[in-house]
Structure 1
Amino acid sequence: MSSTRSGSPLYGGRRVRRVRNSAAVLAAAAVLVTSACSGAAPDKDADRAAAYKITDKTPAAAGNVDSFTWSVYAEPTTIDYAYSFDFPPNQILANVCESLLRWNPDLTTSPGLASSYANPTPTTWVYQIRPGVHFHDGTVLTADDVVASLGRNLDPGTGSVWANQYKNVKSIARTGPMEVTVTLTKPDSTFNKYLAAGPGTVESAATLAKSGKDYGNPQTGVNCTGPFSFGSWTSGQSLTLKRFDGYWN
């Protein structure tokens, strides 16, 4: 599995993710600062018995786990992809929502929710939408969902943080049962690459219409296609995700 955002992807069939607020981070930092500023001589035995350690990587998955928890440095104001440009919301959305394309470890792009794509003219990009993909509510991904999701970035009423990445987009239209065509006003060497990140996020058109201005808040959450689904969000405390057993990948 690969991530489409800056948050770290998760592996190993893990069941539930709970994201704590920054108070936990501050508490941990306070312990570290207190230890570092102590005037006592270093105690090697105590160091060996420390309840925590810092590593540069996590071990390979050895099987399923029932749950796990980690902290983010701040609580997101929303998990609406149109306003999610910082680490806290993207760390969450990286595991919940997906984009048309995906970033690879070598910084190239490859198909994601678009099974393939073509650039038949300098100002045209055509995306074939992957069949058999389900949103977390069980509905099936269609070209209409892609048009609605990408189109929000063109709508001044949305005020998307990704509007600049769409500055050369003239139109986004369904051109086949599972095909979407983006027409540009002029050639843009970066547009297609951005669809591997936040600007390419796909959400259910029905969910967007139903939630309206409340989309992405603690009461409504999101309804995407990723390996984890939105569970609950207790403001000021935690945000819980659940493993999505119907994940296509």
Structure 2
Amino acid sequence: MVDRTVDRFGGRSLINRRHFLRGSGLLVGGLAAATSVATTSARPAWRSFAALGARQSADTPTPGGTMTWAQELDPVSLDPHTTSNFSAVQAIEHVYQSLTMYDESLNVVPSLAESWEMPNDTTYIMHLRQGVKWHDDSDFTADDVKYSLERLLAPETAGPYATWFNAIKTIDIVDPQTVQFNLDAPFAPLLANFAAMRGSSIIKKDAAENSNLQLEAIGTGPFKMTEYVPESHFTLTKNENYWEEGFPYVDEVTFKILVEEDARVAALRSDQIQYAYLTVEGAERLAGEGNVSVMRSPKAWLVAHFMNTFREPFTDVRVRQAVSLAVNRQEVIDKAVGGAGVLSGPMPTGHQDWFIPVESLPYQQDLERAKALLAEAGLEDGFKTTITCSPQYPEFVAASVVLQQQLAQIG
């Protein structure tokens, strides 16, 4: 069991969460998105799943079968330590695993680490799950954990998420099933960062030297990566030796790379695929289709804009506060994603006392106060800046355009 006598996230909060919101360089756009998922119900293996999702049926899903799903973007690379794009995480998140994971309520729970303890605020002793096998049938051990994290943190890896784990200064192997992390200071988000699967995937020792991690993936997860054809598709096959009893249900899933929503809608209508992520507009186009069920549910997907606090004028807290006060976050949600989202703070629910309920968030638009703060900072005529966003997901661009329009109101 996890030692409940200490903070599960590794220490004590060193800064008040509301003070963090007031002074940070994080401008939360509030798009904790509500997902629209369209599924066809023509194949028996999928029908039960679709019925459960759409009508809360009491029927027991039948294990087995194959499905074809759509993925919006190509993974580009399967290397979990060097890639930063979300589409890569979508491809590998059921192949690789980390030491912890999130449950359905976004609480951090054990994964490859069965339990852990903290003898002090800067030491984590992770007890690894026994009997776990790699997809090549070799044993998972502490050597794999040490290798993975040392590769992630190595400067030559240039891992985009290395900073999430650079509080770890040394890693000791206690025995084949126990590893110890020694930190240079208390670091509260460590276990949550492992669960996020951003740079935290555990790979087999010497995997980078013995295989092409951009195109191959041997993990411990519920599915094996049996084929990856860049810009076309990848196929996941059931791991018969997976450690979580009863999972996975499906024997095989092929993900077709369909970048354009028109292509995803057409493939659903013709039963070429059985699942796709859709925008609000795409979901409306399929409303009333007899063989397609459109399901909506909250999605753990936060769209936020960050201010670079190392670059002027954002080094001045008054400028950051002015920008925040200029933003009407609900308008961003309404215009960028057609209202298919909810206002959210920067911390997910699993971060315990850092999480702020939506009704208690301190966000409000106050243009006059924003202008006054800019004047205090010597910018009464405003300033120019550039909003940089990825074009890969439409909501990123749409949210940035709305933000640009709102900021223009204060100069």
**Which consecutive aligned stretches of 4+ in structure 1 deviate over 6 angstroms post-superposition?**
none
Structure 1 residue 55: deviation in Å? 10
Which residue in the other structure is 1:164 paired with? 163
Which residue in the other structure is 1:226 paired with? 221
Count of residue correspondences: 191
**C-alpha distance in 2, partners of 1:248/1:55?**
28
Q: Secondary structure at the match of 2:157?
A: coil
Q: Does 2:240 align with 1:245? A: yes
Structure 1 residue 57: deviation in Å? 4.0
Structure 1 residue 90: deviation in Å? 1.4
Structure 1 residue 86: deviation in Å? 3.1
* Residue identity in the other structure for 1:216: Q
TM-score, normalization by structure 1: 0.71
Which residue in the other structure is 2:203 paired with? 203
Does 114-123 or 161-170 show the bigger shift?
Answer: 161-170
Does 171-180 or 119-128 show the bigger shift?
Answer: 171-180
Q: Secondary structure at the match of 1:81?
A: coil
Alignment deviations for residues 113-136 of structure 1 (CA, whole Å, 9 cap, x no partner): 011111111111110111100000
* Residue identity in the other structure for 1:73: E
Structure 1, unaligned runs of 5 or more? 1-53
Alignment deviations for residues 138-184 of structure 1 (CA, whole Å, 9 cap, x no partner): 00101101111122221011111211112222112212221111111
**C-alpha distance in 1, partners of 2:206/2:80?**
16
**C-alpha distance in 2, partners of 1:158/1:83?**
7
Which residue in the other structure is 2:91 paired with? 92
TM-score, normalization by structure 2: 0.44
* Residue identity in the other structure for 1:203: I
**C-alpha distance in 1, partners of 2:136/2:227?**
15
**C-alpha distance in 2, partners of 1:56/1:247?**
24
For the 8 Å contact 2:132–2:139, the answer to whether it is kept is: yes
**C-alpha distance in 2, partners of 1:116/1:234?**
37
Q: Does 2:129 align with 1:130? A: yes
For the 8 Å contact 1:204–1:224, the answer to whether it is kept is: yes
Change (3 A) 1:76 1:56: farther
**C-alpha distance in 2, partners of 1:235/1:86?**
15
Which residue in the other structure is 2:174 paired with? 175
Which residue in the other structure is 1:235 paired with? 230
Change (3 A) 1:56 1:80: farther
The structure where helix makes up a greater share of residues is 2
Which residue in the other structure is 1:103 paired with? 102
Q: CA RMSD in A?
A: 2.1
* Residue identity in the other structure for 1:242: T
> Highest CA radius of gyration, 1 or 2?
2
Q: Secondary structure at the match of 2:139?
A: coil
**C-alpha distance in 2, partners of 1:69/1:105?**
24
Q: Secondary structure at the match of 1:96?
A: coil
**C-alpha distance in 1, partners of 2:71/2:86?**
8
Structure 1 residue 65: deviation in Å? 3.8
Q: Secondary structure at the match of 2:228?
A: strand
Percent identity between the two aligned chains: 27
Which residue in the other structure is 1:191 paired with? 190
**C-alpha distance in 1, partners of 2:94/2:125?**
26
Structure 1 residue 56: deviation in Å? 11
Change (3 A) 1:162 1:55: farther
